[in-house]
C-alpha cells in the first residue's frame, strides 16, 4: 500500500465511520469501525514518513502484535501440556490408591497440580487418603519435599488442613523418633475433625521442642 492508497483507504474509512454514526450500528460494529479508522490513520502517518509501499515486516507495531500473539500461543500450549500431565498423574494416583500401593510411593514435582485435578472427580474417600499421603511425605521430607524450596512452595499449593497435618506429624516424629505411620494415624482423624486446632497444636509442639530438633 502506497501513501496515496493509504490516504484513499483512510478517506473511505472516514466515510464509513460517518455513515455508522448516522445509522447507529451495533456497539460491536462500532468498536470494529473505530479500530479500523485508528489503524488507517496510523498507517497513513507511517507512510507519510517512509513515502514507500506499506510492508508489515517493517511495521514495528504489527511485529510487536505478532510477537505477542506468538508468545500467547506458546503459553497456551504450555498450559495445555501442564494440564494434560496433571490429569495423567491424577489418574495414576487414583490407580495406586485403588491398588493399595499409594503409600509405597513418594510425591514428585507437579503432584500438587495432580491433586487439584483429582479433587474435581475423585470421591471424598480418595481425596482424604491422597491428602494424608501428601501430609506424611511433607512432614517427613520425602520425595521432592526433601528440597526446602519445594516445602516452601507447598504452602501455597496445598490446602491448610494438609499443611496442618504435615506440621503435626513433623513435630510428633521429632518428639518420638522412630514413630511409624500406623502409630500416628490419629493425626489424619484429628485433622479431619478440627484442622485449625491441629495447626495450633503443631505450632505449640514445635515451640516447645528443643531448638536443634525444629528444622
**Which tens digit of pLDDT belongs to each residue from 123-166?**
988 999 999 999 999 999 999 999 999 999 999 999 999 999 99
Cell numbers given for 157: 499449593
Q: Give the model's pLDDT for residue 134.
A: 97
Q: Give the model's pLDDT for residue 32.
A: 75
Q: Which of 1-15, 115-129, 150-164, 179-193 has the lowest mean pLDDT?
A: 1-15
Q: Give the model's pLDDT for residue 60.
A: 86
Asked if residue 18 has pLDDT above 60, the reply is no
Contacts of 89 (CB under 8 A, 6+ apart): 110, 111, 113, 114, 117
Quick check: 133 and 102 in contact, CB under 8 A? Answer: yes
Quick check: 130 and 97 in contact, CB under 8 A? Answer: yes
**Which tens digit of pLDDT belongs to each residue from 43-97?**
888 888 877 777 788 888 889 989 999 999 999 999 999 999 999 999 999 999 9
Question: For 79-94, b where at least 16 C-beta lie within 10 A, e where not — what string?
Answer: eeeeeeebbebbeebb
Q: Which of 6-10, 48-52, 98-102, 176-180 has the lowest mean pLDDT?
A: 6-10
C-alpha distances (whole Å) from 203 to each of 74, 145, 163, 181 are 43, 20, 11, 20
Asked if residue 215 has pLDDT above 60, the reply is no
Q: Give the model's pLDDT for residue 62.
A: 84
CA dist 142 and 185 (Å) reads 17
CA dist 164 and 191 (Å) reads 7
Q: Percentage of the chain with pLDDT > 70?
A: 84
Highest-pLDDT range among 150-159, 173-182, 204-213: 150-159
The whole-number average pLDDT for the span 204-210 is 86
**Which tens digit of pLDDT belongs to each residue from 19-55?**
565 555 555 566 777 777 888 788 888 888 877 777 7
Q: Give the model's pLDDT for residue 34.
A: 79
Asked if residue 114 has pLDDT above 90, the reply is yes
Amino acid at each position: 500500500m502506497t501513501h496515496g492508497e493509504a490516504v484513499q483507504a483512510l478517506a473511505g474509512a472516514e466515510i464509513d465511520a460517518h455513515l455508522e454514526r448516522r445509522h447507529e450500528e451495533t456497539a460491536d460494529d462500532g468498536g470494529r469501525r473505530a479500530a479500523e479508522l485508528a489503524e488507517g490513520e496510523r498507517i497513513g502517518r507511517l507512510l507519510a514518513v517512509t513515502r514507500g509501499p506499506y510492508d508489515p515486516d517493517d511495521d514495528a507495531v504489527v511485529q510487536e502484535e505478532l510477537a505477542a500473539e506468538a508468545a500467547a500461543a506458546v503459553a497456551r500450549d504450555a498450559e495445555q501440556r501442564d494440564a494434560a500431565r496433571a490429569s495423567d498423574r491424577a489418574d495414576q494416583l487414583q490407580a495406586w490408591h485403588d491398588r493399595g500401593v499409594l503409600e509405597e510411593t513418594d510425591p514428585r514435582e507437579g503432584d500438587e497440580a495432580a491433586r487439584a485435578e483429582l479433587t474435581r472427580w475423585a470421591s471424598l474417600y480418595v481425596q482424604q487418603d491422597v491428602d494424608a499421603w501428601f501430609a506424611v511425605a511433607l512432614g517427613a521430607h520425602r520425595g521432592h519435599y526433601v528440597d526446602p524450596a519445594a516445602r516452601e512452595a507447598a504452602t501455597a499449593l496445598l490446602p491448610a488442613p494438609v499443611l496442618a497435618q504435615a506440621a503435626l506429624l513433623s513435630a510428633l516424629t521429632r518428639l518420638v523418633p522412630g514413630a511409624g505411620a500406623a502409630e500416628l494415624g490419629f493425626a489424619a482423624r484429628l485433622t479431619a475433625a478440627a484442622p485449625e486446632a491441629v495447626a495450633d497444636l503443631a505450632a505449640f509442639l514445635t515451640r516447645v521442642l528443643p531448638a536443634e530438633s525444629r528444622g
